[in-house]
Amino acid sequence: MARKNVVVKIISGLRTYAEQDALYAKGRTTAGPKVTNARAGYSNHNFGTAWDIGLFKSGLYLADSPLYKEVGEISRSLGLNWGGDWKSFVDTPHIELDR
């Protein structure tokens, strides 16, 4: 990604159960769109084996970019799971280890 002048940053890693439940509530019992299908204890974020990334170019955050697919391909080549491959909830900034 550096060859494309894109900086990859981890923007969310380990989460407490309370943080995960607050995210799960979004779009259900609190305002906003759904951002996860995982309740506390069912997210790899709760165990330190998942992270969400942000892509930045010229200091600007790329919220939706085809470059996430490239990061997904790199992640798979390293034996990691990429949220862009999920069927029920596609999460392109998400990368995780199997546990």
Q: What is the pLDDT of residues 46-71, one digit of tens each?
A: 999 999 999 999 999 999 999 999 99
At residue 98 the predicted structure's pLDDT band, cuts being 50, 70 and 90, is confident
Q: What is the pLDDT of residue 63?
A: 93
Helix, strand, coil: what percent of the chain each, to 5? 30, 25, 45
pLDDT mean over 16-34:
97
Q: Which of 41, 46, 74, 56 is nearest to 10 (CA)?
A: 56
User: How many Å apart are CA 12 and CA 98, to the nearest integer?
Assistant: 18
Q: Write down the pLDDT at residue 72.
A: 97
